[in-house]
Amino acid sequence: MEMIKIINLHKSYGDLEVIKGIDLDIKSGEVVCIIGPSGSGKSTVLRCVNRLETPTSGRIIVDGKDIMDPDTDINHVRTEAGMVFQQFNLFPHMTVLDNVTLGPVKVRKMPRSDADKLGLALLEKVGLADKARNYPEQLSGGQKQRVAIARALSLKPKVILFDEPTSALDPELVGEVLEVMRQLASEGMTMVVVTHEMGFARDVADRVIFIDDGVVQEDSNPGDFFSNPKNPRLRDFLGKVA
């Protein structure tokens, strides 16, 4: 069962072609890690999936809905495909709980009390129930990112897109975020994770994808990906980061 199907995706910014024909199928329950050098187009692919960026050409099907079809309600698609950003992007003027309940209340029209119950349960899940009444600026980076994950979960999405969720964190705070992501993976959540955390990709991913120069250079299981990489660019890349 396909959760995300990307067919011949191209994306240009002006004259600069960033994505040069990508095909990708992500099945329900799969955890797919995307790695690649900075500027290779990883974020762009992810952001095309929930149409934060508009593809130049190609098709993207999310949970059976063609996101480029004018009849598709993109706001609904976005509730099915949550997103976690490198810079967290929490809403600084709202409490942690309100960050998590905004979607349920305004998008799902959930009654306040139900939304609060849901929000607290999600904060509990990421280990931050005691911070519900705090403001984001009172949290550490790792805590902020865990709130962002709770916010992404608040609409009960079918897939979550993570764009370098630990890259903005101090090294000692990376673990707590990866731990939450591991738990989500073990619960069967479909996840697409752009990351430089090779350990996480090796342990948690069902598939690892190497994107360079706007195309998929390698797409295999973590064992082959790390121990027996076929693509010369990937070998070069792994040599540099290892």
Partner 1 sequence: MEFHFDWSVFFESIPMLMRGVKFTIVITLGGLSLGFFLGALIGLMKLARHAFPRTVAITYIEAIRGTPMLVQAMFLYYGVPMALGIRIPPLTAGIIIIAVNSGAYIAEIVRGAVQSIDPGQTEAGRSIGLTRSQTMLYIVWPQAFKRMIPPLGNQFIISLKDTSLLMVIGVGELLRTGQEIVAVNFKAFEVYLAVAVVYLAMTLSIAKGLRMVENHLDMKTTR
Tell me which residues touch ligand ADP (CB under 6 A).
Answer: 13, 18, 36, 38-44
- The residues that bridge with 221 in the sheet, in sequence order, are none
Size of the site for partner 1 (CB under 8 A): 26
Minimum CB distance to partner 1 smaller for 140 or for 221: 140
Phi, psi of 5 (to 5 degrees): -130, 120
Minimum CB distance to partner 1 smaller for 154 or for 190: 154
Q: Is 115 among the residues that bind partner 1 (CB under 8 A)? A: no
Tell me, what DSSP letter sits at residue 130?
G
d(Cα 155, Cα 157) in Å, to the nearest integer?
Answer: 6
Candidates 43, 50, 101, 195; binder of Mg ion (CB under 5 A) is: 43
Residue nearest to ligand ADP (CB): 43
Which is nearest to 173 in space by CA: 143, 137, 129? 143
- 175 touches which of ligand ADP, Mg ion, partner 1, none (CB within 5 to 8 A by kind)? none
Rg of the chain (C-alpha set):
18
Q: Residue 133 carries which side chain, given as an amino acid letter?
A: R
**Contact string 56-85 vs partner 1 (x = CB under 8 A):** -------------------xx-xx--xx-x
Q: Is 152 among the residues that bind partner 1 (CB under 8 A)? A: yes
Q: Is 44 among the residues that bind Mg ion (CB under 5 A)? A: no
Q: Is 190 among the residues that bind partner 1 (CB under 8 A)? A: no
Burial of 195 (0-12, 13-18, 19+ CB in 10 A): buried
Q: Is 140 among the residues that bind partner 1 (CB under 8 A)? A: no
Q: Is 13 among the residues that bind partner 1 (CB under 8 A)? A: no
Q: Where are the alpha helices (DSSP H) in 22-158?
A: 42-49, 74-80, 96-106, 112-125, 141-153
- 135: helix, coil or strand? coil
Minimum CB distance to partner 1 smaller for 81 or for 216: 81
Q: Residue 57 carries which side chain, given as an amino acid letter?
A: S
Q: Which residues bind partner 1 (CB under 8 A)?
A: 50, 52, 75-76, 78-79, 82-83, 85, 87, 89-93, 102-103, 106-107, 135, 137, 148, 151-152, 154-155
